[in-house]
Chain A
């Protein structure tokens, strides 16, 4: 049973690793943006597992983008270093902010993180000398000169790193702590979980991941701007991916990300005018008929079919 369970993961890893060997630049480019959104989806879910609904994803993404680009422009740092710096800045800001806002719960936390994201964008817009103002800043050269295969590897590495961190969180006592906080904070507290410290830790880590994703995105497309880098897309699409795939797990957001990433591109080619209508309708239908998310539906389906085949 253990063997059969690992097969899908191995298969997935094999496909992900060899993807550039049998695809061209176009599919790689689609994969690159899908993987970036997927990374955001997983990181958003990681915080959600503690019961905290974060709406700051786009904010930390944008912060990471700006930090990475500005480091390159001002001290000519290596791209990798600047991406890490993007993560560091986002993580550090999240740590500081988290100390204050993680006392909030539910929609109050959600709206405060959303507000902070907007504040980041407006503040950056209002310092044109450093940040280029509303027009933003451009990198002199893009990472790997736009070579999609290499970019794919880079983005895949970021996504895999995120998945690994998420799995570590799922398999260590962090998981127990976060789940207990989500289920009943008072019980968690009385059983000795330092709720606040855990929340700050997870918030900082997930924000750092979002910052890294932002830094990577900025290097792939070569520019930052308040409208582009802090776009609501970087909040709403990952959120939809995680919810559609199934929340409170690593693989839900991953599956949701892959499905929505492929679906949006496919629909666009099939229905040039009006594909977003179909996309929205599919989200509605999936929510209604697969309330547990696509990944759990898939699991149930696999389990059921193995039952009918009498394997188990």
Chain B
């Protein structure tokens, strides 16, 4: 190619890119469907499956005739786990797509950066992520803000209740001393701090570790300290990447506390297949086995698998599904998209969710509209997560003590 020809080709290329970029930014606003704007981290499995579950819910609603005689449109924007991208997504949804309601959410760090944008529009927001109580402090007095996920301290309080109930029901189980191994970032630390307040009647010792997610992965010194403390309950708060290595390293040093609890936001694929998984307790909002006791959960599971040809692996999948349905039912009840009516309708929410519980909104420590407040105590038994507590969703009896000691 001659220099001239090359220059011409380059020119065309540059112009083409400019045109395409320009076209992408101009998104025509249409009248018609009811618009839900979701922001999620799509590169993470939580956001990826959460967004798919939302699509499933919207597809079901539209197949059943939509809402108020209109179709529902779901617009999902990736926050890339970055606060500035999350904030831009809110602006995009509000000003370009003109959505009626904001939904979605995962990380607290991203959400903190989105709050200035959300406060600007004051649209009805129903958020399923961001458990940090820092977020709660930032949304005080915002009557249009509905928070579905339990705050960190609520989770702690919920487990206090759960262990008390389990001890009362099964006198064999006795907990007086607990050792907490928590990942050193915001997630682990806020869970630990939230729990310390709640578990004030236990003797608690905590130590942080570096999660494998951030380049760590050697837990042996923490496990040894736990072993020296000899707790009745050992709990680690980390990520899915830590789950199997922690079990292996605990076995390596011969650490077998009577209760071995893990509290990651998601478990690795096939954790249950490990010989070390049996008897490990888990904290969570959901387990696949809930489909055995809840018809809504069963329906969700089957529909999700049918639509996407994969199994839901994180509780953000049923949470995303719940997110859409809660908003949809409120719109149907309100009969309008008008803000005050919608808020009132949301306040009257009573949605039987695929997570097991019926979702209602009630005040938490600082805000008016808090959704779930309870977590579940689960246990890995024969390769699957079973629910131990709350008893109304229990799918199995507890195996105690861990490793049959």
Contacts and interface: CB of A to CB of B under 8 A. Distances in A.
Interface stretch (B63-71, B107-115, B248-256, B392-400): B107-115
Chain B CB within 10 A, most for which of A29, A270, A304: A29
B21 A221 contact: no
A272 interface: yes
Nearest to B188: A134
Nearest to B48: A273
Nearest to A37: B84
Interface string A125-139: 100000001111010
Contacts of A196: none
B56 to A, nearest CB: 16
Majority SS at the chain B contact face: helix
Given A29-B117, A125-B184, A227-B109, A135 B11 contact: no
Interface stretch (A20-28, A47-55, A165-173, A177-185): A20-28
A32 interface: yes
A15 to B, nearest CB: 13
Interface residues of A, number: 49
Given A134-B188, A262-B21, 17 more contacts: A25-B120, A29-B117, A135-B134, A136-B186, A142-B119, A145-B119, A148-B120, A221-B87, A222-B112, A222-B116, A223-B112, A228-B109, A266-B21, A268-B80, A272-B77, A301-B11, A305-B7
B173 interface: no
Contacts of B14: 298, 301
Majority SS at the chain A contact face: helix
Interface of B: 3-4, 7, 10-11, 14, 21, 24-25, 42-43, 48, 76-78, 80, 82-85, 87-88, 91-92, 94-96, 109, 112-113, 115-117, 119-120, 132, 134, 137-138, 184-186, 188-190, 193
Contacts of B88: 26, 29-30, 33, 265
Contacts of B112: 138, 221-223, 225
Contacts of A148: 91, 120
Given A265-B88, A301-B10, A25 B109 contact: no
A221 B116 contact: yes
Interface of A: 24-30, 32-33, 36, 125, 133-136, 138, 142, 145-148, 217, 220-223, 225-228, 231, 233, 262-263, 265-266, 268-270, 272-273, 275-276, 297-298, 301, 304-305, 308
Contacts of B109: 136, 225, 227-228
B76 A138 contact: no
Given A134-B185, A136-B134, A266-B25, A308 B7 contact: yes
